[in-house]
Amino acid sequence: MMTIEELNGVKAKMADLVQVRKVVREQGELLASKTGYRKQVLVCGGTGCTSSGSKKVIAALEESLKKHGLEDEILVVRTGCFGLCSLGPIMIVYPEGCFYSQMTPEHVETVVENHLKNGNVVKELLYAETVHEDGSIISLNETNFYKKQMRIALRNCGVIDPENIEEAIGVDAYQALAKVLTTMTPDDVVNCLLESGLRGRGGGGFPTGKKWAFAKASQGDIKYVCCNADEGDPGAFMDRSILEGDPHSIIEAMAIAGYTIGAHQGYVYIRAEYPIAVERLSIALTQAREHGLLGKNIFGTGFDFDIEIRLGAGAFVCGEETALMTSIEGHRGEPRPRPPFPAIKGLFGKPTVLNNVETYANIPQIILKGSEWYSSIGTEKSKGTKVFALGGKITNVGLVEIPMGTTLREIVEEIGGGIPNGKKFKAAQTGGPSGGCISAENIDTPIDYDNLIALGSMMGSGGLIILDEDTCMVDISKFYLEFTVDESCGKCTPCRIGTRRLLQLLEKITSGNGEMEDLDKIEELATHMKNSSLCALGQSAPNPILSTLAHFRQEYIDHIVSKKCTAGVCKALLAYEIDPEKCKGCTKCARNCPVGAISGKVKEVHTIDKTKCIKCGVCQKNCNFDAIYVK
Amino acid sequence: MDSLQNAFKGTEAQERELKEVIAKHKDTPGCLMPVLQEAQGIYGYLPIEVQTMIADGLGISLSEVYGVATFYSQFSLTPKGKHRISVCLGTACYVKGADKVLAEVENRLGIKSGECTPDGLFSLDSCRCVGACGLAPVMMIGEDVYGKMTPDQVDKILDKYMQEEGGAES
């Protein structure tokens, strides 16, 4: 068992070491002198950077430091995600805060020799935005990408080594649990959450305090706390990053939930597709047990709590709370009707609190800093911050955490760095397969739960995919419908048959056979599905179509009436043409055409036989004169 | 040919290992999923023979085991290739052209997503978001991640694995 004094002892021991990574340069240098390490090098070990080779970078770094005899002066820390995934592998040197991007083992050697050994920053390897024209360097937090962000849920991601519990304790881990267990009653915790205005970050936006209050009020000797880490929205990865970068915040918050509702056992249901997150969470659980922060009699207060990991097996519907619990029970992950709600009858039939990862990650900070602090951030009905996984056609792909009420324009143009290749912003998709698209005319809407719903989309878990003019909105609806058809569990008819019928109608439109009345059929069917599906998957499955129909109706009409896909995506509606002005008659296209659809003599303009053309695009790709275009 | 290829070839060692797994989990509530996951780790897939052993071991019906094994996309009832290719079709990858990458792999290997090449070398699946959206579009072969893919890179990457194979045989 660890006492609170011992916890504070570890915190004091580690404080300077981790603080170096959080303060401005001058203070950092002062602090660094007290830590025993002249410099600290943080390398991202999140999934994004690991995929782009950060393991090799770390190995090269350690080897090079040894070669130069620097291994005792310079500390290497493998952290979780910094957020700017498109620039990986990322490496940051403190106390300067120099942000090296797209590192390779060769680059590492250069940085070690010049910067770490001789003190000369290697400017050409820094993230370009951190180097001013006059040669001066700014730190990460001053760049456009980070400046507008406010990191609460992600506060420790990219700051600490998630596999070292002492570093986590150095940045206040388990302080909130200590405070709750020694100075707060369960009612105090519930009230604190209610006053903070925290709403569930998994998509629904239900007030967390209320959820806990219901579960607390439920009668029963055995209750459970669950964490939903089955992040199924394709394109959202904030929960994974939190588990990879700061697993102790989740463990701590679940223990707080256990104390509040009277539960002693927690389950984290996590996607098996997230091996790094599973591993880091397992390590964190083991370390927490070794330090007595999980298990019997935590901090000597008589409170017992432990957590077990359950791996999901790839079913999107298991993100729905009742389906998730059915899956933990070892069955097919099918949802069941509510009520009874999980707070009354949840896992194994017992009262259960279930929150998503990001929701939990906020809680220790709310307990420590108070509900007033938290409710001062955000908009009237949506408090705090939201993490978005920014992806698609945007320059800075990565994780961003912004105060509620930030506009989409700020996210796209400032934080995201705009659309690459000079293309125009067309829409932003939020909420994944359950959400919808926000069009350019609404780009100045402040983002919060209610505004997004008013626009026909939803917050969802936080995927934010930017679409440019080359994206066909009918095709993107079809993409999401294909997803929900695959993932519909089949238990209720409106969802099982409805999604399939919607997809057939969309396929009819994209193949050039659509009729105007299909749009009415889509809208009617969508309404039925929303009203009569058993769970949120079926109820929200029509959203991608309905929102694109609302904001991009003309595009559907173009597909149906003019048989035209303006974005040039829907193959059946495309026609390849040869521009007679540009064609030199080189015969290359005719030679490469796999079906012999192109004819023409040498040095004469060629033509495409549209009855033979399979629209493979080989001719366009091979033309040296840009003479082939899509109509 | 098909039946020959798919005939169950479990060893006694594998069966012993499976029985240990069953014994370890038997008394935990909701243990079927972890048992199936570990069983797939042992055998590489979950043929009917393995499902039967699990049903007998846990004292539940085969239909219940089959129901769970077929519900989740992670579980496979057919063997996978030596190199498991999976092309991410998450949204971020899709809008950046992952469908074209998948089509190119299908074209090159002559199999559809969800199938295995006749020589057992490659199996192909699409998956939903590996979470490396910064590298979209992403393709994975075993544990190796290939980011920022274009269809014309497919040939070169697959060649590498085929050559390794050729080299190993000669």
Identify whether residues B164 and B87 lie together within a single domain: yes
Which ipTM score applies to this complex?
0.90
pLDDT of residue B168: 52
CATH pick for A473-562 out of 1.20.1440.230, 3.90.79.10, 1.10.10.60, 1.20.120.450: 1.20.1440.230
How far apart, in whole angstroms, are the C-alpha atoms of residue A128 and residue A143? 10
Range of the domain at B38: 2-71
- The DSSP letter of residue A378 is B
Model confidence at B169: pLDDT above 70? no
Closest chain A CA to residue B75 = A313
Give A543-546's long-range contacts (Cβ < 8 A, gap of 24+). A543/A431, A543/A434, A543/A435, A543/A436, A543/A456, A543/A457, A543/A458, A544/A429, A544/A433, A544/A435, A544/A436, A544/A437, A544/A476, A544/A477, A544/A480, A544/A481, A545/A477, A545/A481, A545/A502, A545/A506, A546/A436, A546/A456
Q: Is the CB of B91 less than 8 angstroms away from the CB of A234?
A: yes
Nearest by CB to residue A313, choosing from B37, B89, B145, is: B37
- Tens of pLDDT along A4-15? 999 999 999 999
Model confidence at B170: pLDDT above 50? no
The CATH fold assigned to A385-468 is Ubiquitin-like (UB roll) (3.10.20)
Q: Measured between beta carbons, which residues in chain A are less than 8 angstroms from residue B145?
A: 50-52
| The two three-digit tokens of residue A446, written as one number | 């402040």
Identify whether residues B64 and B89 lie together within a single domain: no
Mean of all residue pLDDT scores within chain A: 94
**DSSP class per residue in B37-78:** HHHHHHHSS--HHHHHHHHHHHT--HHHHHHHHHHSTT--SS
pLDDT of residue A535: 95
Model confidence at B4: pLDDT above 70? no
Tell me the pLDDT band of B164, cut-offs 50, 70 and 90. confident
Q: Which of B161, B77, B82, B76 is nearest to B127 (CA)?
A: B76
| The two three-digit tokens of residue B54, written as one number | 């699990």
- Tens of pLDDT along A348-358? 999 999 999 99
Closest chain B CA to residue A330 = B30
Interface of B with A (CB under 8 A): 29-34, 36-37, 67-68, 71-75, 89-92, 94-96, 127-136, 138, 145, 147
- Tens of pLDDT along A225-255? 999 999 888 888 999 999 999 999 999 999 9
Nearest by CB to residue B134, choosing from A48, A315, A463, is: A48
- Whether B129 maps to a domain, the answer reads yes
Q: Is the CB of B91 less than 8 angstroms away from the CB of A465?
A: yes
Q: Which residue carries 């782009």 as its tokens? A: A52
- The DSSP letter of residue B82 is S
- Tens of pLDDT along A490-535? 999 999 999 999 999 999 999 999 999 999 999 999 999 999 999 9
- A310 CB within 8 Å of a chain B CB: yes
Identify whether residues B93 and B162 lie together within a single domain: yes
- Whether B150 maps to a domain, the answer reads yes
The CATH number that applies at residue B96 is 3.40.30.10
- A292 CB within 8 Å of a chain B CB: no
pLDDT of residue B2: 47
Identify whether residues B136 and B163 lie together within a single domain: yes
- A82 CB within 8 Å of a chain B CB: no
How close B123 gets to chain A, by Cα (Å)? Answer: 17
Identify whether residues B97 and B154 lie together within a single domain: yes
- A477 CB within 8 Å of a chain B CB: no
Identify whether residues B102 and B162 lie together within a single domain: yes
What is the sign of the dihedral through the CA atoms of A327, A332, A334 and A338? Answer: negative
* Alpha helices per DSSP H over A184-246: 186-196, 208-217, 238-245
Spell out the domain ranges in chain A. 14-147, 172-375, 385-468, 473-562, 575-630
Tell me the pLDDT band of B3, cut-offs 50, 70 and 90. very low
Tell me the sheet residues that pair with A439: A427
Identify whether residues B26 and B61 lie together within a single domain: yes
| The two three-digit tokens of residue B25, written as one number | 């989990």
Q: Are strands B139-141 and A224-229 parallel, antiparallel or unpaired?
A: unpaired
3-state secondary structure of A362: helix
Q: Is the CB of A391 less than 8 angstroms away from the CB of B147?
A: no
Tell me the pLDDT band of B121, cut-offs 50, 70 and 90. very high
- A391 CB within 8 Å of a chain B CB: yes
Q: Which residue carries 């659980």 as its tokens? A: A285
Q: Is the CB of A331 less than 8 angstroms away from the CB of B36?
A: no
Chain A residues 348-377 with a CB less than 8 Å from chain B: 348
Identify whether residues B32 and B91 lie together within a single domain: no
Q: Are strands A265-271 and A224-229 parallel, antiparallel or unpaired?
A: parallel
- A232 CB within 8 Å of a chain B CB: yes
Nearest by CB to residue A330, choosing from B32, B96, B128, is: B32
Domain boundary among B71, B100, B117: B71
Domain boundary among B71, B102, B119: B71
Q: Which of A84, A80, A75 is nearest to A116 (CA)?
A: A75
How far apart, in whole angstroms, are the C-alpha atoms of residue A202 and residue A432? 12
- Whether B55 maps to a domain, the answer reads yes
Domain boundary among B71, B93, B116: B71
Identify whether residues B60 and B128 lie together within a single domain: no
Q: Are A284 and A55 in contact (CB under 8 A)?
A: no
Nearest by CB to residue B90, choosing from A235, A314, A333, is: A235
- Whether B41 maps to a domain, the answer reads yes
Model confidence at B84: pLDDT above 90? yes
Size of interface A-B (CB pairs under 8 A): 135
Q: Are strands B83-88 and A628-630 parallel, antiparallel or unpaired?
A: unpaired
Identify whether residues B27 and B66 lie together within a single domain: yes
What CATH architecture does domain A14-147 belong to?
A: 3-Layer(aba) Sandwich (3.40)
Q: Which residues in chain A come in under a pLDDT of 70?
A: none
Give A564-569's long-range contacts (Cβ < 8 A, gap of 24+). A565/A472, A565/A474, A565/A475, A565/A510, A566/A472, A567/A469, A567/A470, A567/A471, A567/A472, A567/A473, A567/A475, A568/A470, A568/A472, A568/A630, A569/A470, A569/A471, A569/A472, A569/A475
How far apart, in whole angstroms, are the C-alpha atoms of residue A240 and residue A234? 12
Q: Measured between beta carbons, which residues in chain B are less than 8 angstroms from residue A480?
A: 91
Q: Measured between beta carbons, which residues in chain A are less than 8 angstroms from residue B24?
A: none
Q: Measured between beta carbons, which residues in chain A are less than 8 angstroms from residue B29?
A: 329-330, 348
Residue in A50, A51, A485, A570 to test binding to B, most B beta-carbons within 10 Å: A51
| The two three-digit tokens of residue A377, written as one number | 């951030």
- The DSSP letter of residue A319 is G
Average pLDDT rounded to a whole number, residues B73-90? 92
3-state secondary structure of A273: coil
- Whether B78 maps to a domain, the answer reads no
- Whether B77 maps to a domain, the answer reads no
Question: Do A172-375 and A575-630 have matching folds?
Answer: no
Helices (runs of H) and strands (runs of E) counted in chain B: 8, 4
Cα B125 vs. chain centroid, distance in angstroms? 8
Closest chain B CA to residue A88 = B134
Tell me the pLDDT band of B1, cut-offs 50, 70 and 90. very low
Q: Is the CB of A432 less than 8 angstroms away from the CB of B30?
A: no
Give the total number of structural domains in chain B.
2
Q: Measured between beta carbons, which residues in chain B are less than 8 angstroms from residue A389?
A: 92, 133
CATH pick for A575-630 out of 3.30.70.3270, 3.40.47.10, 3.40.50.2300, 3.30.70.20: 3.30.70.20
Identify whether residues B62 and B18 lie together within a single domain: yes
Nearest by CB to residue A51, choosing from B32, B95, B135, is: B135
Identify whether residues B125 and B152 lie together within a single domain: yes
Q: Is the CB of B72 less than 8 angstroms away from the CB of A467?
A: no
Average pLDDT rounded to a whole number, residues B123-135? 86
Q: Are A545 and A552 in contact (CB under 8 A)?
A: no
Helices (runs of H) and strands (runs of E) counted in chain A: 26, 18
- Whether B144 maps to a domain, the answer reads yes
Tell me the sheet residues that pair with B84: B123
pLDDT of residue A463: 92
Q: Measured between beta carbons, which residues in chain A are less than 8 angstroms from residue B45?
A: none
- A489 CB within 8 Å of a chain B CB: yes
Nearest by CB to residue A389, choosing from B30, B94, B133, is: B133
Q: Say yes or no: domain A172-375 is CATH 3.40.50.11540.
A: yes
Q: Is the CB of B131 less than 8 angstroms away from the CB of A52?
A: no
